[in-house]
Amino acid sequence: MSTKAAGIPVIAIDGPSGSGKGTIARQVATALAFHLLDSGALYRLVALATNRREADPADEENIASIAASLDARFSTDEYGSEQVWLSAEEISAELRTEECGLLASRIAALPKVRSALLNLQKSFRQVPGLVADGRDMGTTVFPDANLKVFLTASAEERAKRRHKQLNDKGIDVSLAALSRDIEDRDRRDSERSVGPLKPAEDARLLDSSNLTIDEVTLTVLDWVQEIEWQ
């Protein structure tokens, strides 16, 4: 049975870091009462597990085996905030640090790590439907997605957003350092040989530089209305 034949709709939202895809994906999933896959969190979890085990991030076989045996769980706390668990430990805050994001982008360039996470990502496709955000949702993980959105924003705008996000959490980091990190990550994500960051041929492009979060969400929900669900 192909995943499409399973008849469970998928909306893929891809884009570079800071494009707002995580927030948009969450809002769209909530509006449609669909499940949510934050695929970046899986790569971040592998990065964290790599750090915890003091494993060499360049050791592809070892990192792929860490990815294949990942004991990850997602939940929501009493205030509606997402919680991510690695084994019995709640690690949501640690997962969001720049350090974790950078290590995630290094290990995400390893082909065996990407394939080790493939089935886990596909397993999020559950009724009534899924909104999946990442870099290769529309190209590799769910090539048959019913709607593919590629969300962009200028590098400057993305660095500013990330800066505000971290400041709001009390994390002090310079805008210049953040811009450099974002550029590094963009380059690595776009240049890797497997699952690179690029729009699917049938993706709809959306530049969010001058749009509010709600405007972007409404645009995506309008597109959802246009889809012929099969």
**Least distance between ligand C5P and beta carbon 197 (Å):** 7
User: 17 or 208: whose CB is closer to ligand C5P?
Assistant: 17
**Least distance between ligand C5P and beta carbon 16 (Å):** 8
**Least distance between ligand C5P and beta carbon 128 (Å):** 22
Token pair 């597109």 is found at: 223
Q: Which residues bind ligand C5P (CB under 6 A)?
A: 17, 39-40, 43-44, 101, 104-105, 108, 134-136, 185, 189
User: 136 or 224: whose CB is closer to ligand C5P?
Assistant: 136
Residues forming beta bridges with residue 132, ordered by sequence position: 12, 37
**What are 81's two structure tokens?**
């905030």
Map 36-101 to HEC letters: EEEHHHHHHHHHHHHHHCCCCCCCHHHHHHHHHCCCEEEEECCCCCEEEEECCEECHHHHCCHHHH
Cα separations (Å) of 48 from 45, 78, 101, 162?
5, 25, 10, 20
- Neighbour count for residue 24 (Cβ, 10 Å): 25
**What are 54's two structure tokens?**
């003091």
**Least distance between ligand C5P and beta carbon 108 (Å):** 3
User: 9 or 189: whose CB is closer to ligand C5P?
Assistant: 189
User: 7 or 183: whose CB is closer to ligand C5P?
Assistant: 183
**Least distance between ligand C5P and beta carbon 225 (Å):** 26
**What are 144's two structure tokens?**
């048959």
Query: How many angstroms separate the CA atoms of 24 and 15, rounded?
Result: 11
User: 34 or 43: whose CB is closer to ligand C5P?
Assistant: 43
**Least distance between ligand C5P and beta carbon 14 (Å):** 7
**What are 155's two structure tokens?**
């590098």
- End-to-end distance of the chain based on CA atoms, in angstroms? 15
CB 111 within 8 A of CB 194: yes
